[in-house]
Amino acid sequence: TLAPKPAPAPTMVTGKVAMSVSDPATFVEDPEMQAAAKASIAEMAGVQESFIDVTLEVVSRRLGGSPRRLSNGTVQVSYTITIPADAEDGAEAIAGRAETAISSAEAGAVTAVFQHKIADSGRDYTVEVTEVSQPAVVSQPVVVEPAASDMSGGVAERGPVSLLVAGLGLAGAASMARG
């Protein structure tokens, strides 16, 4: 019997946004900022928030000149947009539109989106987007296992170790023939 055909794999868009943030350590630990970053990426890419995972990380700090001023630093937002293979408009098409939208986004416009989402959360952080990386589209490969009827007693039946041993044997024989 043939194994059931595996479901198509999702398509992913990955990238990073770097921004200067007031109080970066508190910012990255704030669950509301995780949600604001997710909402900002969704708006920027034109996809559902449920497709997005984000990770916030402090990558550098600059100390303020005054003891009362919080330190500023750079926060990197790494995102993965996972579009299900069975998405209504097609995963590849949605990923292509998201990649185009993010690629053409200017730092000032992305800053405005983040500031709006942060304000909606009721928090008071100052942010300025300094870089939006070129997004990458990744389609997950689907590994199809051969059906039992495809096994004819050859290398496929014995597995990769037999192939490696057979290959080493051929290499050894070729070396001995030259030597």
Q: For residue 76, which phi and psi values (nearest 5 degrees)?
A: -105, 125
Q: What are phi and psi of 21, to 5 degrees?
A: -135, 140
Query: What number is the average pLDDT over the span 49-61?
Result: 91
The string of pLDDT tens digits covering residues 59-111 is 975 555 443 345 789 999 999 999 999 999 899 999 999 999 999 999 999 99
Which tens digits make up the pLDDT trace of 151-165?
455 444 444 433 333
Convert 42-103 into a string of H (helix), E (strand) and C (coil): HHHHCCCHHHEEEEEEEEEEECCCCCCCCCEEEEEEEEEEEECCCCCCCHHHHHHHHHHHHH
Confidence class for position 139, pLDDT limits 50, 70, 90: confident
Whether the pTM exceeds 0.75: the reply is no
Mean pLDDT of the chain: 80
Distance CA 175, CA 51 (A): 54
For residue 6, the Cα-to-chain-centroid distance in whole angstroms is 23
Q: Are strands 11-22 and 52-62 parallel, antiparallel or unpaired?
A: unpaired
List CB contacts of 78: < 8 A, sequence separation 6 or more: 14, 15, 16, 54, 55, 57
| Distances, alpha carbon 28 to alpha carbons 33, 95, 97, 139, in Å | 7, 27, 28, 29
User: 118 or 159: which carries more pLDDT confidence?
Assistant: 118
DSSP 131-170: EEPPPEEEEPPPP-PPPGGG--SSHHHH-HHHHHHHHHHH
Pair 22, 126: CB distance under 8 Å = yes
